[in-house]
């Protein structure tokens, strides 16, 4: 009889926990579909759904928000001072161009800055050459923040440079994501720390694992040297970005080198992440040098689950809704929610050239399946879905008309929209926009345009798998 009593108590506690989870969902949900799915699971399968919700169900990164609100006074002052700087955004023959970009400043709490120079780095070889050179030239400090760090040839080269610069008196702060870099040997990190580098995991902030916030990732990839030069894009620190991976298929990605005042925006985003992870605010330079021929206007847009708004979603919606001639998006993962898909359809129906470039081969079989389920909707509206053939395309690019281009870390999927910390650079300079356009045209030449038949001519089991996988999009 006591056993039965304990069993009843255990069952009661599980259902009480389910009720608490449901209350939290109803008070904080952002999408009705996701909320309904969780509520039904918690009612029907509470023994499975409660643990899953604790690990994967949160949509706001509460600890980061607390660190932001109660952080170091110097950091708060820097954030506020930079946010309220003014910069003139030239209008480019479009009556809404100023407002369209001004709203992005409000979303990112950063201004468009003038006097920058952006250099498009079209592949891994060009990117790593520029990264290595910048670190070698650093005189005061090096700030790194990457989702994936590997202990392969690239990783060893990075470590060798950092150890040499530390010996020269250059300070190094090394921030990585513990989930993305799960296979990084502890020895690698210990060697850097022993050489004098400050090393921190994004998951260290307030012991994220104990706070059950493992579903949030720091997906950013950036480097800043001396507050004067910065890098942003889709490339992590690993050999695959230099050559081949995934059954010896080429790996396609790109990055961007920035000099000028916009580097301050990159540095502030890094500093806020570092403050969360280590509760430390290093003394850095906030007077970036003005590069020669630096006349480009650039905005740095950090996004993440600690934001007041769904900043990443609103960024994409803003781009799509304001496109008048073309909206080209390159993303390795294409699992848009209904807002993004509806906006893409409307853009295509009003005559905008809408092209989505995704890889033929993917590192996620589930996401590849889910992408097929959008084909009928896309093709009937006139959206071009292009599958890149030579290998795995991992770059994240957005091109809006001839007016601006964006390069960063955000994908067209739920994880980037609501769960990951991402960062994007937006540039309005015509030469940079032209460069991105030419690069994407070259990529499109290596793509296959998909049609409805690619989905409808497949077996019913395949189509069922695609539709079922799409339902799992919030967890992918």
Q: Measure the CA dihedral 65/68/70/75, to 10°.
A: 180
Verify whether residue 454 is a known catalytic residue. Answer: no
Determine how many CB atoms are found less than 10 A away from the CB of residue 195. Answer: 15
The DSSP line for 373-394 is: TTHHHHHHHTPEEEEE-SSEE-
CA quadruple 447, 452, 457, 458: dihedral positive or negative?
A: positive
Of the residues 114, 165, 219, 255, only one is catalytic, namely: 219
Written as six digits, the tokens of 353 are 């050239």
Q: In whole angstroms, give the CA distance from residue 391 to residue 317.
A: 29
Verify whether residue 159 is a known catalytic residue. Answer: no
Q: Measure the CA dihedral 258/260/261/263, to 10°.
A: 30
Verify whether residue 96 is a known catalytic residue. Answer: no
Closest Cα partner for 226 from 177, 175, 155, 282?
282
Q: In whole angstroms, give the CA distance from residue 255 to residue 426.
A: 13
Residues 6+ apart with CB under 8 A from 137: 225
Of the residues 239, 253, 307, 401, only one is catalytic, namely: 401
Of the residues 226, 273, 307, 337, only one is catalytic, namely: 226
Verify whether residue 396 is a known catalytic residue. Answer: yes
- Tracing tokens 């209008």 back to the chain, one arrives at 91
Closest Cα partner for 472 from 332, 383, 367, 325?
367
Angle value at C-alpha 38, between 34 and 44, nearest 5 degrees: 145
Verify whether residue 84 is a known catalytic residue. Answer: no
Of the residues 273, 394, 413, 443, only one is catalytic, namely: 394
- Tracing tokens 């005559």 back to the chain, one arrives at 351
Q: In whole angstroms, give the CA distance from residue 417 to residue 313.
A: 5
Of the residues 221, 239, 337, 443, only one is catalytic, namely: 221
Q: Rounded to a whole number, what is the distance in angstroms from the first to the last CA of the chain?
A: 44
For β-strands 244-245 and 249-252, DSSP reports them as antiparallel
Of the residues 114, 178, 396, 413, only one is catalytic, namely: 396
Verify whether residue 255 is a known catalytic residue. Answer: no
> Which residues have a catalytic role annotated?
219, 221, 226, 394, 396, 401
């Amino acid at each position: 009889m006591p056993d039965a009593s304990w069993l009843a108590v255990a069952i009661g506690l599980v259902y009480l926990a389910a009720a608490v989870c449901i209350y939290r969902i109803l008070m904080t949900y952002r999408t009705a579909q996701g909320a309904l799915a969780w509520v039904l699971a918690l009612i029907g399968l509470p023994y499975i759904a409660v643990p899953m919700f604790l690990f994967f169900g949160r949509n706001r990164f509460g600890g980061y928000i607390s660190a932001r609100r109660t952080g170091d006074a110097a950091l708060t002052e820097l954030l506020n001072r930079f946010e309220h700087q003014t910069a003139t955004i030239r209008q480019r023959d479009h009556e809404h161009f100023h407002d369209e970009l001004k709203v992005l400043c409000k979303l990112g709490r950063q201004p468009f800055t003038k006097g920058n120079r952006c250099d498009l780095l079209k592949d891994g070889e060009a990117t790593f050459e520029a990264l290595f050179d910048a670190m070698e030239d650093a005189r005061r400090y090096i700030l790194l923040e990457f989702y994936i760090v590997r202990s392969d040839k690239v990783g060893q080269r990075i470590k060798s440079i950092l150890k040499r610069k530390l010996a020269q008196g250059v300070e190094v702060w090394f921030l990585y994501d513990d989930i993305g870099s799960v296979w990084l040997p502890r020895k690698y990190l210990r060697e850097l720390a022993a050489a004098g580098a400050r090393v921190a995991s994004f998951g260290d902030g307030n012991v994220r694992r104990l706070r059950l916030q493992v579903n949030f990732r720091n997906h950013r990839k950036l480097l800043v040297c001396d507050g004067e030069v910065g890098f942003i894009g889709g490339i992590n620190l690993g050999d695959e970005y230099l050559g081949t991976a995934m059954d010896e298929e080429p790996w396609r990605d790109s990055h961007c080198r920035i000099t000028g005042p916009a580097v301050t925006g990159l540095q502030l985003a890094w500093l806020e992440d570092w403050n969360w992870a280590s509760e430390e605010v290093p003394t850095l330079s906030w007077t970036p040098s003005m590069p020669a021929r630096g006349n480009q206007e650039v905005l740095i847009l950090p996004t993440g689950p600690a934001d007041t708004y769904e900043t990443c979603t609103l960024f994409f919606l803003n781009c799509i809704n304001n496109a008048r001639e073309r909206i080209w998006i390159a993303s390795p993962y294409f699992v848009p929610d209904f807002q993004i898909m509806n906006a893409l359809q409307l853009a295509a129906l009003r005559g905008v050239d809408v092209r989505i470039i995704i890889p033929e081969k993917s590192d996620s079989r589930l996401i590849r399946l889910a992408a097929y389920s959008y084909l009928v909707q896309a093709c009937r509206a006139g959206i071009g879905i292009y599958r890149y053939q030579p290998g795995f395309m991992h770059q994240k690019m957005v091109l809006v008309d001839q007016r601006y281009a964006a390069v960063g870390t955000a994908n067209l999927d739920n994880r980037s929209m609501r769960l990951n910390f991402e960062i994007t650079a937006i540039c309005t300079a015509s030469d940079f926009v032209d460069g991105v356009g030419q690069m994407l045209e070259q990529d499109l030449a290596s793509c296959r345009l998909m049609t409805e038949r690619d989905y409808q001519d497949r077996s019913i089991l395949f189509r069922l798998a695609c539709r079922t996988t799409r339902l799992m999009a919030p967890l992918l």
